[in-house]
Structure 1
Amino acid sequence: MTMNSKDCIDVVAAATNDVNLWHCRLGHMNEKGMKELCSKGKLSGLKTIEVGLCEGCIFGKQKRVSFSKVRRAIKPEKLELVHTDLWVPAEVTSLGGSACYMTFIDDATRKV
Structure 2
Amino acid sequence: MLDVIEAVTSGVDPELKWRDGYAVGAVVASSGYPQACRNGLFVPELREIEDGYLIHAGTTLNGHSQLVSNGGRVLLVGSVQKSLMEANEKVYQYLKTIEKTENFFYRTDIGVV
- TM-score, scaled relative to structure 1: 0.25
Tell me which protein shows more helix as a share of its residues.
1
Tell me which protein shows more strand as a share of its residues.
2
Structure with larger Rg: 1
Larger RCO (alpha carbons 8 Å, 6+ apart): 2
- TM-score, scaled relative to structure 2: 0.25
